[in-house]
Structure 1
Amino acid sequence: MTLTLADLYASPDHYLHSFDGDTAVFVPMDRAAYHRSIFLDARISPAEDGALRVPVAALIESIPASLPTGWIMHVAHCGSTLLARALDDADANLVLREPQALRQLAFGPPDGRLALTTAMLSKRYRPDLPTIVKGNVPTNFLLPRISAATPDAPMIFLYLPLREYLFAILRSDNHRTWLRNVTTQLGKHVGGAIGALHNASDAQRAAALWLAQMQLYADTAGIMVNARSLDAEMFFADPTTALTAAAAHFGVPLSPREIEARVGGALFATYSKNPAQSFGNADRLARRNDVEAELSVDLDEAERWIAARETEASSALATLRAIPLAV
């Protein structure tokens, strides 16, 4: 059976995975494949082998309007994967975690591919249930374009206060490598705040990235009327309340019993990125305590850096705290 452009735009079975130059790469999916794919980047678990390659120009000629889509934007290492997986029903609504094509657009020119990508991501198996997209740090910098295109879309800004963010971002060599890589890739967005980025310390990079994202969220909150904020520490401490509010915000039909089962089940007792690893909030807090002393110099440096920009940081946080996600 020959696929048409209409087929590609209509069915989630044809997933726009990424761009390769002027070509869009689709991979075969089904509902089970989306559910088991914790991430939709290189770690995707497709329904079968193979890929379909289509010229981007042909797809852009006939982009349909995006269906209503919910968004989870976050600062990284703050429970976003856990929240997204908790909202994912294997037999109902779709939750798309970190689409590779969307991430690529954060580094590309505004050439029409965002409208193409959001239309493709908005597809669903059940028309009565929402599709939710969980972004990643680079996709935060698409927020000006996303908010201009869909100012009424429901969105959650999942964030951490500065000190807690530093614990999450600086706690290991692997996390510091990620920090250096992503701040280098996003240099035009965060580099101006710290001058010569290649000379910046890890503490300065972490502080600059945190502030850039807080300001993005605050600016977007003034445009997107259905944007709400969620302090990740509140989510970790009271996941039942947070999940109940998030489901209501996105229109995901989770009953109190279903929410109780998810919060009390394996999902919240294992590492969200690796279900084979036991990990809960008590483990997270213990890990935080373990690294506090060794991070003291970095914490002090980052907090001094933010203190020199107290007006901007306080204003952004105040804006976010004025739009809390609530039941």
Structure 2
Amino acid sequence: MTQSPSFQTVMHDPQWLAHRYDPGHDAFHLRHVSRARRAAMPFLTDEYLGSDKPLILRRVDAVEHAPPASPIHFIFHSAYCCSTLLAAAFDIPGTSMGLKEPVLLNDLVGWRHRGGGGAQVARVMDEGLRLLARPFSAGEATIVKPSNIVNPLIPAIMAMRPDARALFLYAPLEAYLASIARKGMWGRLWVRDLFGKLLREGMLGALGIAPEAFLGLTDLQVAAAGWLAQQQQFQSLAGTLKQRVATLDSETFVDRPYDTLDALGQFFKFELDPSAITAIINGPVFGRDAKNGDAFAPGKRAADARSGVALHAEELEKVVVWARHVADSAGICVALPQPLIR
């Protein structure tokens, strides 16, 4: 008979990913995921992890045997802005490990929406962050890229980790809307789902759009409103958190990948060797589509963007004008302050 591993063994083995939290049983679900598998997956979700049964540990047992907290930083984003690629680029053994959308944080958002008490959610989030930041080697930093549905929890996350720094990554308005448009029905359904979540979080009120007007918005107006709400949050938090936050737009990242990795490494409190940065940019991470692993030829992203704009040019032009008017009225910057690189 195979003997189950001890709590101590499991919690000191970073291959046991803290994957889910079950508030009904006050338990963490862990999945055994090697570093190589994590790097190969676009997201740490059930879709990619497969159907293996998780190891379920009571929260108190997991936390009691977990190692001390390690350095952790964050890439928060507003979607469709190359955040998966950037997180993947920070899988640098001995320096950092990028975690792409761990579901545990999504579970806490869902629990909160179902009525989870603020103090309870905060406690589990603090403990969950500790479990996520178990490095594969001593001294490694963990770079967490949550799903953007976790963004309402940013103030609490940053308060719990006063040494953490955060990058706010976003696509320029026109590029974001073009991405949604060319994804067809699924992109339009996604932005409406996001709109509903942002509405529930009270993040749409600052836009000055009357609630009775919501049903009259087109799909791309809904997309623009969601983009503006997230942009307003990032702008406000940059002013509050000051030097702990830097901002970056996806076009700057794509145009200047070396400068981005160099500056972000320093911002996250470690320096990357120039040859290491060059190897990352010339390696497989930048040579494949971060979402599906397909070969990503130079210029393909720009060509896809141009085709999306051309196909939906009239609608995009009108919605961009409308969104900029909303932004001006609400005092929202379409280009965020505190850029990572200038």
TM range (shorter): 0.7 to 0.9
| TM superposition shift of 1:245 | 1.2
Give the corresponding residue for 2:161.
150
Q: Secondary structure at the match of 2:169?
A: strand
Question: For residues 62 and 198 of structure 1, what CA distance do their matches in structure 2 show?
Answer: 51
Q: Secondary structure at the match of 2:45?
A: coil
Q: Secondary structure at the match of 2:46?
A: coil
Question: For residues 293 and 219 of structure 1, what CA distance do their matches in structure 2 show?
Answer: 34
* 2:192 maps to amino acid: R
| TM superposition shift of 1:39 | 1.3
**Among 123, 133, 147, which residue is 2:134 paired with?**
123
Unaligned 5+ segments in structure 1 are none
**Among 32, 39, 42, which residue is 2:43 paired with?**
39
Unaligned 5+ segments in structure 2 are 113-117
Structure 1 pair 230/130, CA: closer, same or farther in 2 (3 Å)?
Answer: same
- TM-score, normalised relative to structure 2: 0.83
Provide Cα deviations, 1:291-315, integer angstroms capped at 9, x if missing partner. 224322244135314413414344x
Question: For residues 37 and 328 of structure 2, what CA distance do their matches in structure 1 show?
Answer: 45
Question: For residues 61 and 187 of structure 1, what CA distance do their matches in structure 2 show?
Answer: 38
| 1:177 and 2:189 are equivalent in the alignment | yes
Give the corresponding residue for 2:20.
18
| 1:106 and 2:109 are equivalent in the alignment | yes
Asked if the contact 1:31/1:90 (under 8 Å) is kept, the reply is: no
Q: Secondary structure at the match of 2:294?
A: strand
Give the corresponding residue for 1:70.
73
* 2:339 maps to amino acid: P
Question: For residues 199 and 147 of structure 1, what CA distance do their matches in structure 2 show?
Answer: 37
Provide Cα deviations, 1:247-303, integer angstroms capped at 9, x if missing partner. 2222455321121122223332321112233344x2122222212243222441353
Question: For residues 16 and 45 of structure 1, what CA distance do their matches in structure 2 show?
Answer: 12
Which structure carries more helix by proportion? 2
Question: For residues 289 and 32 of structure 1, what CA distance do their matches in structure 2 show?
Answer: 34
| TM superposition shift of 1:200 | 3.7
Asked if the contact 2:73/2:142 (under 8 Å) is kept, the reply is: yes
Q: What is the correspondence of 1:220-299 to structure 2 with a 5 Å cutoff?
A: 220-221=237-238, 222-223=240-241, 225-280=243-298, 282-295=299-312, 296-299=314-317
* 1:75 maps to amino acid: S
Question: For residues 110 and 198 of structure 2, what CA distance do their matches in structure 1 show?
Answer: 8
Asked if the contact 2:177/2:223 (under 8 Å) is kept, the reply is: yes
| TM superposition shift of 1:58 | 5.2
**Among 87, 90, 109, which residue is 2:90 paired with?**
87
Question: For residues 273 and 252 of structure 1, what CA distance do their matches in structure 2 show?
Answer: 27
Q: Secondary structure at the match of 1:54?
A: strand
Give the corresponding residue for 1:132.
143
Give the corresponding residue for 1:52.
55
Asked if the contact 2:83/2:169 (under 8 Å) is kept, the reply is: yes
**Among 30, 34, 38, which residue is 1:30 paired with?**
34
Question: For residues 155 and 277 of structure 1, what CA distance do their matches in structure 2 show?
Answer: 30
* 2:138 maps to amino acid: P
| TM superposition shift of 1:91 | 6.0
Provide Cα deviations, 1:51-107, integer angstroms capped at 9, x if missing partner. 211234655688876422010111111111111111112565321111011122223
Question: For residues 62 and 205 of structure 1, what CA distance do their matches in structure 2 show?
Answer: 46
Structure 1 pair 227/300, CA: closer, same or farther in 2 (3 Å)?
Answer: same
Asked if the contact 1:158/1:231 (under 8 Å) is kept, the reply is: yes
Q: Which runs of 4+ in 1 moved over 6 A?
A: 60-65
Q: Secondary structure at the match of 1:138?
A: helix
Question: For residues 254 and 213 of structure 1, what CA distance do their matches in structure 2 show?
Answer: 30
Structure 1 pair 54/239, CA: closer, same or farther in 2 (3 Å)?
Answer: same
- TM-score, normalised relative to structure 1: 0.86
Provide Cα deviations, 1:8-63, integer angstroms capped at 9, x if missing partner. 543312211112442321111233233223311124448x9442112346556888
Moved more, 3-12 or 119-128: 3-12
Provide Cα deviations, 1:100-136, integer angstroms capped at 9, x if missing partner. 1112222322322211211111111222121110112
Asked if the contact 1:203/1:299 (under 8 Å) is kept, the reply is: no
Provide Cα deviations, 1:209-231, integer angstroms capped at 9, x if missing partner. 11121122122222253211112
| TM superposition shift of 1:186 | 3.7
